[in-house]
Chain A
């Protein structure tokens, strides 16, 4: 794992692999990274907003749990973004298949299930907490 992290910070190492591709491929890869980074930042912003704009919720500390979960998810998305960018850049330079990833599906499922659980919590309050 440390090897992968060292590689992210070593552009010379990445540049020594394979051949320099058409610069437009690298730009497209960089934009994909930035789009994922903004996704991560949006989750971080969502966490910060939840912490200050949500009213107190029926379950104790539920608001804080939501906020911390969104913040950590945002950090994970950012880290995965740079890892995927580096692996894609490598694959482009080597003329290999682009790396496949289950991450978008996992992220979508996590957010979907989280949202459903919150819907259940809201409904429980509407029904039980008259």
Chain B
């Protein structure tokens, strides 16, 4: 399998795709923390939760975006990253609904 370099650079492209994804997660986290920062305890709690999710996604995505040689594929990382994204979305819904209350 590891017979030299893939001329299509597929492992490298996949690593860069993971890095882009992590970057997008970071931007979304920053937006959520900004929306949560109104100085009340509920906002602080949701901001803390968002940062925890960001940390978990960082730990998940980082190893997939670094290294050389053949990239790992598949595994449990993909569904777990999906769960992180859904949790970010639900925390966002909480933030929006909090503004109505």
A and B form one complex: yes
Which residues from chain A sit less than 8 Å from chain B, CB to CB? 8-9, 11, 14, 23-24, 26-31, 33-35, 37-38, 40-42, 44-45, 47-49, 51-52, 61, 64, 67-68, 71-72, 74-75, 78-79, 81-82, 85, 89
Given contacts A24-B8, A38-B24, A41-B24, contact A30 B14 (CB under 8 A): yes
Q: Which residues of A contact B100 (CB under 8 A)?
A: 61, 64
29 contacts between A and B (CB under 8 A): A11-B74, A23-B1, A28-B10, A30-B14, A30-B73, A30-B78, A34-B14, A35-B17, A38-B24, A42-B24, A44-B85, A44-B88, A45-B28, A47-B89, A47-B92, A47-B96, A48-B31, A51-B35, A52-B34, A64-B96, A67-B92, A71-B93, A71-B96, A72-B93, A74-B85, A75-B86, A78-B85, A78-B89, A82-B78
Inter-chain contact A67/B96, CB cutoff 8 Å: yes
Q: Which residues of A contact B75 (CB under 8 A)?
A: 11
Given contacts A27-B71, A31-B17, contact A44 B99 (CB under 8 A): no
Inter-chain contact B14/A11, CB cutoff 8 Å: no
Given contacts A30-B78, A40-B85, A85-B78, contact A71 B92 (CB under 8 A): yes
B39 interfacial contact with A, CB 8 Å: no
The distance from the CB of B84 to the nearest CB of chain A, in whole angstroms, is 9
Which residues from chain B sit less than 8 Å from chain A, CB to CB? 1, 6, 8, 10-11, 13-14, 17-18, 20-21, 24-25, 27-28, 31-32, 34-35, 70-71, 73-76, 78-82, 85-86, 88-90, 92-93, 95-97, 99-100
Instruction: Please report the C-alpha to C-alpha distance between residue A51 and residue B34 in the assembled complex, in whole angstroms.
Output: 11
Majority secondary structure of chain A interface residues (helix, strand, loop or mixed):
helix
Instruction: Closest A residue to B61 by CB, please name it.
Output: A34
The distance from the CB of A91 to the nearest CB of chain B, in whole angstroms, is 14
Inter-chain contact B85/A27, CB cutoff 8 Å: no
